[in-house]
Amino acid sequence: MEARILTWNLWWQFGPWRERQEAILAVLREQRADIVFLQEVWAQEGGLDQAEWLADELDMYVARTEGPWYDDGVSLGNAVLSRWPIGRWEVHRLPDVTGAPSHRRAVAARVDSPHGGWWCVCTHLDYKFDASSTRVAQCETLCAIVDGLRGDAEVENPVLLAGDFNAVPDSDEIRMLTGRHEPAIDGLVFTDLWEVAGDGTGFTWRRDNPYIDDSTWPNRRLDYLFVSWPRPRPIGNPTRVWLAGLDLVGGVQPSDHAAVVADIRMTE
């Protein structure tokens, strides 16, 4: 039995954001994911909540971070949407390079799937080109969060970790997560699903996206779907991984990032 998971940075209220909402919804409807990890979702104080709206339209459950709030009363956060009920959820602050709490957050939701409970962690790390040390600290905290959530790794369902990590696969922070460098927590690393079953470069920050014409960043793979390891084989293994949200929808580019989608094994 398989499930479909998807991660996507929705680019907050940047660009033609009102026009982009229906395009975002159309892509999510087309992909039909069972669990969705979203970054840069917005909520207007006392008004519309993008994550809630998407969940209502897609008939899904939702867990989301609160804030941070900006001067115009609009928040920027992360969310997990699930086709199955969310039993409980919690929000964690991530540190800056000094260890002090930053505005970056992770939301962890326990999804009550037909195949048992799955902890799903959605996050968005510091974006600055030169902020690898900050992202390392944030990934260390994420590992501690996941370690606190998982049960017996040899017999229980693994943890799904996804989001916009603003880091390329050979960076220190991603190498630490994927076992190419000493892990933050002994006995905990992650499988990068694109590396197992993706085809091609997997660039999610792409020069062919009209919203990044003026960016100084090259093509990069910044967005990831991870599954914790060790885990009972073959649970969590991907059978297919691909990109979505690449094309115009009704003449509108949905976001400045591409989405990453995967079909994964849910049972032995």
Q: Where are the alpha helices (DSSP H) in the chain?
A: 17-31, 50-58, 132-149, 172-177, 193-197
pLDDT in tens, the chain (268 residues): 899 999 999 999 999 999 999 999 999 999 999 999 999 999 998 889 999 999 999 999 999 998 777 768 899 999 999 999 999 999 999 999 999 999 999 999 999 999 999 999 999 999 999 999 999 999 999 999 999 999 999 999 999 999 999 999 999 999 999 999 999 999 999 999 999 999 999 999 999 999 998 888 899 999 999 999 999 999 999 999 999 999 999 999 999 999 999 999 998 7
Count Cβ atoms below 10 Å from residue 49 Cβ, excluding itself. 19
pLDDT attached to residue 259: 99
pLDDT attached to residue 71: 64
Spatial separation of the C-alpha atoms in residues 190 and 177, rounded to whole Å: 6
Spatial separation of the C-alpha atoms in residues 175 and 183, rounded to whole Å: 9
In this structure, are strands 259-265 and 2-9 parallel, antiparallel, or unpaired? antiparallel
Say if CB 69 and CB 75 are below 8 A apart. Answer: yes
Count Cβ atoms below 10 Å from residue 188 Cβ, excluding itself. 19
pLDDT attached to residue 227: 98
Question: Dihedral, CA atoms, 14, 79, 46, 27, nearest 10 degrees?
Answer: 50
Domain boundaries, the chain: 2-265
pLDDT attached to residue 268: 77
Spatial separation of the C-alpha atoms in residues 20 and 254, rounded to whole Å: 5
The superfamily CATH assigns to domain 2-265 is: Endonuclease/exonuclease/phosphatase (3.60.10.10)
Q: pTM of the prediction?
A: 0.97
pLDDT attached to residue 52: 97
pLDDT attached to residue 213: 83
